[in-house]
Amino acid sequence: MDSNVRPETMARINTPELAKAFIDEQITKIRAQVGNDRVLLALSGGVDSSVVAALLIKAIGRQLTCVHVNHGLLRKGEPEQVVKVFREELGADLVYVDAVDRFLDKLAGVTDPETKRKIIGKEFIDVFAEEARKLTGVKFLAQGTIYPDILESHGIKAHHNVGGLPEDLKFELCEPVKLLYKDEVRMVGKELGLPDNMVYRQPFPGPGLGVRCVGAITRDRLEAVRESDAILREEFANAGLEGKVWQYFTVVPDFTSTGIKDGKRTDDWMVVIRAVNSVDATSATVPEVPYELLFKIRDRIFKEVKGVNRVLYDLSTKPLATIEYE
């Protein structure tokens, strides 16, 4: 478990049987590593931390404490799903922290994207550290490190999500999926019984919807991002595009446009629909999405999302555009 190099002899986990064998092996290893001590995990609800949580719950039950920080920048329904799956269904010891106001207050008026990322990253560490200090007897920190994170320690995750725990919080690491590729982590998650929409979800940036609410985040625009994103995901799923299009989301820029409603001019936000196909996020193409579907999404956004009078579809490939807007 201490090696960071995947042995050449290690079989690719591509069947439920191999996933099961991996789970059994890891349960033994985790129990041997952890003994009777407590383990702490920051559970975002993303694939990697969710799989590690489910694995540890199976191995050591309530010796694991999961901390879920709701920073207000998660997609619609995500914090609720984390509580439902981990606390209610898997019986986890889950600390749910509602830090929405705290994050949004810190972000108020901040326009620079990298400063926004830094604030979100730092605030996250601060909230997590505060929760960690409330617990006694924690010896281990579990993390959803996966093999690409080790191979590309200069890569996207490391580049964007900087930061570490403060000096007074020293834990030994428990990283049971660190030698697995993403598809293997999903296979293990599936075998552990996690829901499909958790296991097969599209890439989602650490700063979440915060980078899709362009410029200074306001609560009204953030809700427009969250609501339009939920509609887009639902309609893509209904159209059978889930898992076929690599990443899709909505963005709300920080300027308004003129519209007309009930004979009166309006001054409202616009929603940009972004959908891309990619292998590793270094380049991306734009899928041909049927107009019929786009019209349906537009109509729902007009009807259901407050403060929006315009919907656009982004045609930009990477390069020259990046996938996210900031």
Binding site for ligand XMP (CB under 6 A): 117, 156-157, 160-161, 203, 205-207, 211, 247, 281, 318, 322-324
Residue 107 or 192 having the CB closest to ligand XMP: 107
Toward ligand XMP, which CB reaches closer, 144 or 207?
A: 207
Question: Which amino acid, one-letter code, is at 255?
Answer: F
Q: How far is the CB of 157 from ligand XMP (least distance, A)?
A: 6
CB of 201 to ligand XMP, least distance (A): 12
Length of the chain equals 326
By CB atoms closer than 10 A (0-12, 13-18, 19+), residue 226 is buried
Closest approach, Cβ 144 to ligand XMP, in A, equals: 12
Q: Which is nearer to ligand XMP, 59 or 146 (CB)?
A: 146
Bridge-based pairing of strands 257-261 and 264-276 is antiparallel
Amino acid, res. 167: E
DSSP assignment letter at 202: P
Distance of closest approach, residue 212 Cβ to ligand XMP, in angstroms: 9
Q: Which amino acid is at 272?
A: V
CB half-sphere exposure, 49, CA atoms < 13 A: 19
CB of 226 to ligand XMP, least distance (A): 16
For residues 38 and 117, which CB has a smaller minimum distance to ligand XMP in the complex? 117
Q: Which amino acid is at 12?
A: R
Q: What's the token pair of residue 108?
A: 């108020």
Nearer to ligand XMP, 117 or 201 (CB): 117
Task: In whole angstroms, give the CA distance from residue 147 to residue 5.
Answer: 9
**Residues 222, 287, 246: CA angle, nearest 5 degrees:** 60
